[in-house]
Each structure stands twice: as C-alpha cells, then as structure tokens.
Structure 1
Amino acid sequence: MNWLFAPAPQPSLPIAGEATLFPVHRVFCVGRNYVEHVLEMGNEVDREAPFYFTKSAYAVSPPGNVAYPPGTSDLHHEVELVLAIGAPLFRATPEQARAAIIAYAVGLDLTRRDLQAQAKEKRRPWDTSKDFEQSAVIAPLSRATPGPDIRLSVNGTLRQESGIDQMIFGPVELLCHLSTLYHLEPGDLVMTGTPAGVAPLVVGDQVRAEVDGLPPLEITVTG
C-alpha cells in the first residue's frame, strides 16, 4: 500500500521492568469522580452513573518536559489513577472487568481550564480544553496493585491528596459501566478522575504525581 504520507507512529507506553510496549488505542477519562473535587468545581455530586470524555491516543505523553499549551492562560493539573486494558470487554461482569486490567499507572490530565469554563457557559463540548498535545502525561505502566493513596505536589508543595477508595465509582464499576457504551479493546486506557486540589501551573513548575506502589510521574512545564 502506498500512503499519501507516512502514518504517525503508534502511541505506546512502557511497562516497568519489561521490554514490551503497551500500544495505546483510546483514552477514556472519567469526570467528577471524587466528591471533594466535584464540590470545589461548583457542581452537584451525581451518584447515578459516571460520565466520560475522551482524549486522542496522540495526547499521551511520557513524563519529562511538557510544553505549556497554546490558547490558554489557565492550565490546571489533575492527578489520576490510570487503568490499562488488556482484554476485550462488552457488557462486562465485575469478574471480567477486574481480569481485564493488566496494568496501572499514574496519570496527569492537563486541562485548559479557561477554555473549559467558556465551553460550559455556552454548553459546548470540552474537546479543546481537554484533548491537546501532551495533555495526558502517563508514567510507565506497572503490573503492581496500586496502594491506597494518590497525591500531587508542585515545586515540593502538596496540592492534591486522597485515598483511591474515595472515588465515587471504583475501577471495576467504571469498566462495567463503560463497557455498556463501548466495545472496550486491548490498548484502551481509562483515566479514573482526580481528587480535590486542582490548580494552575506556570512555566518552570516542577510537578510530581504519585500513587502508592506505582512508578511516580515527574514533569517540568516549559515555555
């Protein structure tokens, strides 16, 4: 087959301690999944069902230098536990959902908050606020079971901290629900939501994000 131009490289993530790479298919993100974060954003807690937005696989970036994106003056950090899916799921049972999680990671959902606020005000989609280059920074995947706590610090100052068990919808519940809306496939990632404490980043900030038991994530915001 003759391509009109060369296809983009397959987005992928390393797996800690392994030589293999995880090919990224899609990125699903869960909104408003920690009560305190819902409240800090001025929203009502909804326990009826989770809701989602997506990022392109090409938004996935390794830790390191992350460029401050264009079109915003209010870039926010959101630390998240990431699930890596290794088996097809459709209308999954809890047992199937649990078995399909082949790895976990610490992730950083970067958000152009001013664009998100404008979109909300006009009842428009969030795409430009959430899906842009390097907006899904993800540490190496790990086969280890994540520990109880998630946290993020900026320049050594703690900003976000919570227990994973404070999610409104836990990992298995999320996958069971999401698999009623999509045929989930190996290579899909699910970013499970962020706790309270989201705040702006500026050029020069050094960010460290952690989930107990998983490889940490560190970035520097560059101009």
Structure 2
Amino acid sequence: MPQIQIADRTLTVANIFCVGRNYQAHAAEMGSSIGAEPMVFLKPNSAIVRPGTPLQLPAWSHEIHHETELVVAIGKSGRHIAREDAMQYVAGYALGLDLTARDVQAEAKKKGQPWTLAKGFAGAAVLGQFVPASAIPNPADVSFTLHINDALTQQAHTRDMAFDIPALIAWISDRFGLTEGDLIYTGTPEGVGPIVSGDQLMLQLGNVLHDHYQVA
C-alpha cells in the first residue's frame, strides 16, 4: 500500500476521494454546472505517482489532461463529522494532479458508462510532497499554480471553491466515512488541458510547496 510522509508521521493511503466541478469557471469550461452537493468520484491508490517519478502517459489514450488540485490528507477516522469539527481531522496538505484520459472519458459519457478507466488508470493520481496542517493555517485563503514549460497554465485561489474543505470533509464523512490516510483531491480551477511527452511541470502553493515533474 502506498504511504505518505507528513513531517515525522507516516500514513498509509486508504481511499482517494476526488471532487469534480468545485470551481465555477472550470465547470463552465467543461459545459457543466455545480449542483447543490459535491460531485465525488474515487481513484484507486494504485494510481499514485510521487515527485521525481516521470509521468507515464498510457498508450491507449491520445488526450491526457492535467487538473491541478489542493490535496487534503486525513489524519484520523470519522463518520458524520460536523463542519465545525472538520479541520481537526486534517493531517496535512499537498498539491496534486488529477490526470484524466479526456478522450476515454468523453466516450464513456456518450455511452452512459462509468469514468473509472479515464480517471483511475495507473499514474492518474499525481501527488506532491506533504506539509503538516499547521504549515497552512488558513487553507481557505491560499493560491496555487501550475506552470508547463515555464508558462502559467492554471491558477486558483481556494476562496473560490464552491465547497470548501470543512464542507467536503463533512459531506464525505457522512456519505462514505473517512479513514486515517484518506486523501481528498479538492477540485481543479479552469485552464485544464493536454500534457505531452517532454513537458516540464511545476506545481506551486505560495512559498510553501514546489513540486516538479517531467512527462516521459
């Protein structure tokens, strides 16, 4: 089972919850809208890729898109967590990429089939280094960016989330339950698009996190 390190604490990754359509501009660019409740899907933990590992694009897709996201690591298990208690369950934060086989996803949507392959293939959950929750005392007021080949590609501020971190923790814990080691990919801003072999990616969260990747 994959593990993550947050300061001196090691967590074994359990479930990976991913939030779709959590930024209005991204929902609009995808031709969608944001509903009254979060739209959540799962990735297997076998999809995780860590920093320093080249990103391998699957041969069966010709359109792999990047989706840059703030990732929350859950530090203790809980069910039916109240919004006001939610942040007590956060162990740390990272930046990640929800890689998506967009052509495969579009075909699945057309046929009314699940998106599992398009979102959960090996290498689809790119995961940066973690910092403890104390390093980001106000996660509702941080910005993050993605640069590809030194060009700014995505930029977001967490205040623009439709469902903030406490709301996501409360909702997911109520519907699914949360386990120590769970990860929550909290949604991507506008600007998603393709990555290709040779691309150099840099993810940055203020002055706190910097992660670099190369597409093989």
Q: Give the structure-2-normalised TM-score.
A: 0.93
SS across alignment from 1:76 = strand
Q: What does the per-residue CA deviation read over 1:123-180, in whole Å, with 9 as the maximum and x for residues that have no partner?
A: 1100010001111111111011156211111000011112111110000101101111
1:1-223 paired onto structure 2 within 5 Å: 10-15=1-6, 18-46=7-35, 48-64=36-52, 65-143=54-132, 144-145=135-136, 146=139, 148-222=142-216
Q: Which runs of 5+ in 1 are unaligned?
A: 1-9
C-alpha distance in structure 2 between counterparts of 1:167 and 1:211, whole Å = 16
Aligned equivalents of 1:168, 1:204: Cα separation in 2:
34
The one-letter code sitting in structure 2 at the alignment partner of 1:96 is: D
User: In the aligned structure 2, how far is the partner of 1:181 from the partner of 1:155?
Assistant: 40
Contact 2:14–2:180 (Cα < 8 Å) also in 1: yes
Residue 61 of structure 1 aligns with an amino acid whose one-letter code is V
Q: Which moved more, 1:28-37 or 1:146-155?
A: 146-155
SS at match of 1:180: helix
Q: How many equivalent pairs are there?
A: 210
| Paired residue secondary structure (1:218) | strand
Higher helix share: 2
Q: TM-score, normalised by structure 1?
A: 0.90
Offset at residue 120 of structure 1 (A): 0.9
What whole-Å deviation, never above 9, does each CA across 1:49-101 have from its counterpart, x for those lacking one? 00111011111110221111231000000000000001112111123211000
Tell me: CA distance 1:213–1:182, structure 2 relative to 1, closer, same or farther (3 Å): farther
| Aligned mates of 2:103, 2:189 — CA distance in 1 | 19
Q: What are structure 2's unaligned runs of at least 5 residues?
A: none
Q: Is the 8 A contact 2:48 2:125 kept in 1?
A: yes
Superposed displacement of residue 19, structure 1: 4.4
- Hey, what's the Cα distance between the residues in 2 that align with 1:214 and 1:26? 25
User: Please, what is the CA RMSD of the aligned residues?
Assistant: 1.2
Q: Distance in 1 between matches of 2:182 and 2:207?
A: 22
Q: Which has the larger radius of gyration?
A: 1
Q: Which region of structure 1 is more displaced relative to structure 2, 94-103 or 79-88?
A: 94-103
Say if 2:11 and 2:180, in contact at 8 Å, map to a contact too. Answer: no
What amino acid sits opposite 1:173 in the alignment? A
